[in-house]
Amino acid sequence: MRLQGLLLPLLLLSLNLNAMTTPTTDASLLTTAERSDFIHTGRYVEAERLCAAYAAQWPDAVRCFDFGVTPEGRTLRALIVSRTGALDAKALHTQNVPVLALQGGIHPGESDGKDAGFMVLRDLLGKPAKDDPLKKIAILFIPVFNVDGHERFGKWNRPNQVGPAEMGWRTNAQNLNLNRDYMKADAPEMQAMLRLLTAWDPILYADLHVTDGADFQHDVSVQLEPIQQSAVSMRATGIAIRDAVIADLAAQGSLPLSFYPNLIEEDNPASGFAESAYLPRFSTGYWALRNRYSLLLETHSWKDYKTRVRVTVNTLVSLVQQTAAHGAAWLKLARVADAEAMQLGGKQVELDHEAGPHVTMIDFKGYAYTREPSAISGGLVTRYDPATPQVWHVPYHDTVVPTLSVRAPKAGYVVAAGYAAPIAERLAAHGIAFQTLAAPKSAQVLETFRATEAKLTPGTFEGRSMMAVKGAWAAETRALPAGSLFIPIAQPQARVVAALLEPQAPDSFLSWGFFNAAFEQKEYAEPYVAEQMAREMLAKDAALAAEFNVKLSSDKAFAASPAARLEFFYRRHPSWDEQYFLVPVYRLDVFTP
C-alpha cells in the first residue's frame, strides 16, 4: 500500500494555535499553554482536570480512567476517545476498531505532546468534521506517562531547549529513564504501561518527544517501525505511513526528517548522520517487536514552544486521518504478522542492528557555524549562527544491517526455577504466555548456553550492572526442577520472547543483570587441597598430563600463574561447580507438558 501525503479535511487543517484560542472555545477546556501564548505549560493537576472535563463534556465519546500508580503515589491517567459506540478495550477489539495511542511526557521536560494532544482531541470532539474520524477509530491518550518526573518542575530542567518557561524532569522518582525500561520493566509506571498496551493493543503507538543536539533549520523528525526491523510483512506500509506524515508536515511548512538528527561525532556537524534501528528498551523498537506500528516524533529543541506544539498538533492530525483511512488495513497486516510470529520456531530472528557501510552525501539545512579551541573546556567548541542559514553537505549512513541473528528454538525457552520469580513478573507485564512447571521433569535433551567470557559494564546503567557474555549454545541432558518457567515460542510476541531470553541480545534479561549471580564463583578449593587433587589426577590420566604440559610450554602467562595452574585441575575435578557460567535459560526443540 502506498500512501501519498493525505489531503486533510479543511476543518482539521484549520486546527492551528490561533484558531484554537478563539472566544468560541470554552475557557475551562483551554490549556495553560494556550492561555499563556505558549510561554508556560500546566502542572499535572491540569491534565487530571482536563481528563475529567472532557469526559463530562462529551460523555458519549470520552472516558477518563486510571491505569497505575507512581512510586510517589500519583495516579496515572489516560483518556479513550471514540464515537464508535465503544469505550472499552474488549468492545473495540470485537468491533475491529483501530486504536491509535498517543503517549506524552515519558520525558516530562518535553511537554509538547501533552498540550498538543489535549488541543487535537478538543478540536475533534467539539468541531467534528462531516467525515468524523472518531466514528472509525479510537484514540488512547496518555497525557503524561512520567508523572513524578513531571511534578519535579523547574526552570532549568532542559537547558538545551527553548521553552516552556518551566518543565518537568527527565527521569521518574527512582531516577529511571522510562524510555530505557520497556524490556526490563523495573519501574512501576512501565509495568502499568505494558499492561495498558496489552489490554488496548493499539495498532499505532506514537511516542511524543523533543530532541536535543545541534542547531539547524529542520523542525521535526519522524521515525517509524517496522521499517528497519521486525515484521517484514509490515515494512512497506510502515514506509508509506512515515512518508505520508512527512508529506503532510511539509505541506504545512515544516522541514521534516525521516531520521533522528543525532550527529555521528558529538558537536561536529561535518561528521553527518546515521540511520538507526532502535533497541527494544525504547518505545519505537519495543512496540514493533510486538507486530504493531510505533512512531517516534521528535520536534527540535531549539524551536520555540509555540512552534513545537504547532508541529506536534499537525503530526497528530495526520496520524488521526491516516488511522481513520487505513487503520482497518493495518489491523489485517498485524494479524498476518502475528501468525508469522507464531511460526518463528526454528527460524532466524534478528535481535541487533547497526548502521551499514553505505554512505550517501546529503544536503542538510543547517546554519553557519564555527569550530574553534575553547579556553574553558580545552577542546573544540561549536558556535551556531541561526541568522545565517547554510546547507551542510554531509555523509548519511542510510542503511541498517543486522549484527545479531539467532535460531529460535522450535518449542520455547525454560528459565531455571531459582531465577523464575522476577522473570515471571516481567513476562506477565509484557503479556507473554508462559507456564510454571508444577512438578520436576526428568532429564531430557535441551540446549544450554555456557559462557566462555562474562563482563560487567563499568558502573551502572539505569540502576543495573549490565552483563555481556560470549559463548555458544550446545546440546546437554538436564532435568528441569519444579518451579521452572516454560515460555513457548509459538505466540504472537515471539520476537519479544527471543529478545528477552537470548543471552547475547542487547536487552535480554541476562544483559540487564537479572542473572549476574550465575557468574559468581561460590565454592573453591584451598591451594593445598587443589595441589593434592592435581597430583592424583596427573597420576591417573596421561592425556591430562600431556594437555597440562602443552599449556605450560605454549602459554607464558599460564605458566607464570600458580592460581591458573591449580584452577586448570580444579575445573576438571568432580568438585567443580558445573553451573558456574551456565546461563539459567535453556532452549527446547521439543516440550512435553
**pLDDT for 24:** 52
Which residue in 104, 195, 102 sits closest to 144, CA to CA? 104
Strands 220-225 and 75-82, bridge-based pairing: unpaired
Whether the bond between 164 and the residue before it is cis, its omega within 30 degrees of 0, is yes
CA distance 312 to 299: 7
Rg (alpha carbons) of the chain, rounded to whole number? 27
What spatial distance separates the first Cα and last Cα of the chain, rounded to whole Å? 43
Type of residue at 303: K
Type of residue at 4: Q
pTM of the model: 0.93
**pLDDT tens digit string along 273-332?**
999 999 999 999 999 999 999 999 999 999 999 999 999 999 999 999 999 999 999 999
Strands 359-373 and 380-397, bridge-based pairing: antiparallel
CA distance 532 to 141: 69
> What residues form DSSP beta bridges with 500?
none
**pLDDT tens digit string along 47-61?**
999 999 999 999 999
Query: Can you tell me which residue has the cell 520436576?
Result: 440
Side-chain half-sphere of 498: how many Cα atoms within 13 Å?
29
**pLDDT for 17:** 54
- Residue 128 CA from chain centroid, whole number: 34
Name the DSSP letter for residue 127: S
CA distance 504 to 190: 23
CA distance 77 to 522: 47
Name the DSSP letter for residue 98: -
CA distance 496 to 489: 10
- Local mean pLDDT, 10-residue blocks, the chain (593 residues): 37 45 71 98 98 97 98 98 97 98 98 98 92 97 98 95 97 98 98 98 98 95 97 98 98 98 94 96 97 98 98 98 98 98 98 97 98 94 97 98 97 98 98 97 95 96 97 96 98 98 98 98 93 94 95 95 93 92 97 88
Strands 99-103 and 138-142, bridge-based pairing: parallel
Where in the chain is CATH 3.40.630.10? Answer: 10-341
* CB of 215 closer than 8 Å to CB of 302: yes
Q: How big is the chain, counted in residues?
A: 593
CA distance 346 to 344: 6
Name the DSSP letter for residue 38: T
Which residue in 344, 340, 361, 358 sits closest to 401, CA to CA? 358
User: Which triple of cell numbers denotes residue 491?
Assistant: 505466540
User: Which triple of cell numbers denotes residue 82?
Assistant: 471514540
Whether the bond between 226 and the residue before it is cis, its omega within 30 degrees of 0, is yes
User: Which triple of cell numbers denotes residue 92?
Assistant: 473495540
Phi, psi of 222 (to 5 degrees): -130, 115
Selecting from 3.40.50.720, 2.40.10.220, 3.40.630.10, 3.40.50.1010, what CATH number does the domain 10-341 have? 3.40.630.10
